[in-house]
Chains A and B, each alone.
Chain A
Amino acid sequence: MSKSAEIALGAALVAAFATSTMAQSKKESPRNYGIGHVATAEQMAGWDIDVRSDGQGAPAGSGSVKAGEKVYMDKCAACHGEFGESAGRWPQLAQGRGTLKSHDPVKTVGSYFPYLSSVFDYIRRSMPFGDAQSLGNDELYAVTAYVLYLNDVVDEKFVLSKETWGKVAMPNAAGFFDDDRETAEKAFWNSSPCMKDCRGPVRITGRAGAVDVTPDEATKRGVE
């Protein structure tokens, strides 16, 4: 190859590289399609109801355990029971401490919920069932305080507000850890699982027919 040909090739390579870099950077900077409208502060105020574990998003207002008792009896007790013990199959809200290791764990606000926000945010967005997002902020604080009281998390004089948020210590706050399946269950990764004589004699140890909880055909919905 002549010197001039070499230079020409080099220049072509540089040009090609520059073009591909340009194409790539063009691809990397996302396109703004000019579609959608800026959300106004007013629009956001109506929908921005989430409250984080650190209390970010908690609204103004306050509510006492005492005030919460009335809200609870009026709007919650019919399903959740007067003491949070649950009526029928509705979620139980209180008791259950010390049961998580047993074969009948009872998961309640006191026994299981790690954060105050996990309760407060949920009541705010979806309770009372059938009339969601109807509670005023003071009612919301009050009824949450009462549920905490039912769980012996606060005393009867407690008043919940943004200011007292950090004083609530949830009993099971340390009860959770991040998904560790890829290490704790590493044995489930196996490139050549057993194909032949993999276990001893197989015995039937349980039968769904004996348990007899399967709905019969009469219970199906969506027909007729």
Chain B
Amino acid sequence: MADPNETTGTTRRRFLVGAAGLAAGSVADARAESAKNLPPNVPDWTRQPGEGVGLRPYGNPSKYEKDVVRRTVPWLTATPESSVSFTPLHQLDGIITPNGLCFERHHGGIAEIDPADCRLMLHGLVDRPLVFTLNELKRLPRVNKIYFLECAANSGMEWRGAQLNGCQYTHGMVHCVEYTGVLLKVLLEQAGLKPSAKWIMAEGADAAAMNRSIPLSKALDDCIVAYRMNGEMLRPEQGYPVRLVVPGWEGNVWVKWLRRLKIGDQPWFTREETSKYTDLLESGKARKFTFVMDAKSVITSPSPQAPVKQKGFNVISGLAWSGRGKIRRVDVSLDGGRNWRTARIDGLVLEKACVRFYYEFDWNGEELLLQSRAMDETGYVQPSKDALRKIRGVNSIYHNNGIQTWAIKPDGEVENVEVG
């Protein structure tokens, strides 16, 4: 196992690998242990009381976990106001993403909306155009649902080959949280739909005034106008105080800082659903309204930012999700997709939510090519990148759900690789 601190006097590439190694797991992992705190000695924290209550009115993670943060790829975008930060998937487990670690994608920065001035307008092909305050939205019947949200551009940098060395960067535009809110159907019923209603347009109050068209059938099915995530009010980065939840569909339609829903009889063909979020194929023609997120999975650990630390018994941990329903099964390969074994799913298996899978194995220092393959309840099987490229070419940008390969090297370091 390479010394994670050995980063000096080497090439840049070597440095990056070393830095990634250093970032593995948490600062705690990289810190040297201190004999005075280990048995038979009794550490200070056992002798003296610590801080009392009330000093941390909104608690934060331990100071030893301060590298568990969202990260950016600065060269990706022109400005941080219209950019993305990535969920540190390699440092998380279970299926719920902590609110402060949910990836961000803004098109005009974070709108800081005073909840007293929050208004949601419903109009267009309705009997009664309505405006709701936040408190009025909260007075309506509530639902609680756990859903994944994946940006359509997640893994978008990886179409032509292995590019970014970390599952945070290759797959970190996904999160999974519990939402509380009112079913969109209930809101639409309050306004009363005209018979000609077929589409709705959702619009944000942010400086991008993001707008997307959504078929009415989806709006009446399972969409939520949400104001809470994981129990607390939405974070500003996630659309505080009100966002749209569109289960299983690409993140761009989950309009944040929601201010308006207009009901119409055809789609709007907004910039975001034409020049962006359409999937250009090799023919030069593009698919439009590719809303559903295909089944996908990724091994979150080990991964380039979370190398293998010990030989012997090891746990492979990963996430899988499908926009079409429940995950039925996840398979893992140690040899680049030649042979597969079924992984163990542990925890909740819910519709359009992440599942956590594990595969336990003994590692003796041999090189491995790790892959995972998700299947959903419709029988869809996550394809290889080659199979996907054969149909879609390499210009799609969006909806890359191909199988990811991580190469484990004899020293335990992990690299994002392409296999052929």
Contact = CB atoms under 8 A, between A and B. Distances in A.
Contacts of A53: 266, 268-269
Contact of A179 (B165, B287, B375): B287
A17 interface: no
Interface string B69-83: 111111101110110
Contacts of B123: 39, 44, 48
B274 A188 contact: no
Interface in A128-170: 129-130, 132-133
B238 to A, nearest CB: 15
B284 A43 contact: no
Contact of B161 (A203, A205, A216): A205
Interface stretch (B126-134, B310-318, B355-363): B126-134
Contacts of B70: 221-222
A38 B127 CA distance: 10
Contact of A176 (B23, B75, B274): B274
A86 B203 CA distance: 27
Contacts of B13: 209-210, 212
A62 to B, nearest CB: 22
A219 B20 CA distance: 12
A220 B285 contact: no
A86 to B, nearest CB: 9
Contact of A207 (B140, B201, B375, B417): B417
Q: Which of B129, B140, B419 has the most CB of A within 10 A?
A: B129
B418 A190 contact: no
Contacts of A204: 369, 407, 417-420
A33 B77 contact: no
B211 interface: yes
Interface stretch (B33-41, B46-54, B143-151, B330-338): B330-338
Q: How large is the interface on A (under 10, 10 to 19, 20 to 34, 35 or more residues)?
A: 35 or more
A185 to B, nearest CB: 6
Contacts, number: 281
Given A50-B268, A178-B287, A205-B419, A33 B379 contact: no
A52 B266 contact: yes
Nearest to A122: B271
B391 interface: yes
Given A100-B280, A179-B289, A50 B262 contact: yes
A115 B131 contact: no
Interface in A36-51: 36-39, 43-44, 47-50
Given A133-B209, A189-B380, A203-B419, A221 B130 contact: no
B121 A208 contact: no
A156 to B, nearest CB: 24
Contact of A214 (B16, B161, B284, B381): B16
A114 B274 contact: yes
Contacts of A47: 121, 203, 259-260
A211 B71 contact: no
A114 B73 contact: no
A181 B108 CA distance: 31
A101 B73 CA distance: 28
Contacts of B260: 47-48
Contacts of A7: none
Contacts of B81: 129
B394 A39 contact: no
A27 interface: no
B78 to A, nearest CB: 4
B190 A118 contact: no
Interface string B382-420: 110001000100110000000000010000000111111
A224 B79 CA distance: 21
A64 interface: no
Q: How large is the interface on B (under 10, 10 to 19, 20 to 34, 35 or more residues)?
A: 35 or more
B111 to A, nearest CB: 11
B274 A118 contact: yes
Contacts of B164: 208, 213-214
Given A202-B338, A206-B162, A188 B268 contact: no
Contacts of B268: 50, 52-53, 117, 121
A179 B417 contact: no
A132 B108 contact: yes
Contact of B338 (A30, A121, A175, A199): A199
Nearest to A120: B271
Contact of A191 (B270, B283, B288, B379): B379
A176 B278 CA distance: 8
B203 A38 contact: no
B176 interface: no
Nearest to A113: B275
B285 A177 contact: yes
Contacts of A5: none
Contacts of A48: 123, 260, 262
A33 B140 contact: yes
B136 A197 contact: no
A75 interface: no
A119 interface: yes
A208 to B, nearest CB: 4
B121 A43 contact: yes
Interface string B58-100: 0000000011011111110111011001000000000000000
Closest 5 CB pairs of A and B: A202-B336, A206-B418, A30-B189, A122-B271, A208-B416
Given A129-B81, A214-B16, A214-B20, 12 more contacts: A30-B186, A35-B136, A35-B190, A39-B121, A43-B131, A54-B266, A125-B203, A125-B209, A126-B108, A209-B13, A215-B72, A215-B74
Interface of A: 30-33, 35-39, 43-44, 47-50, 52-54, 79, 88-90, 100-101, 103, 105, 107, 109, 112-115, 117-119, 121-122, 125-126, 129-130, 132-133, 175-181, 184-185, 187-191, 193-199, 202-217, 219-223
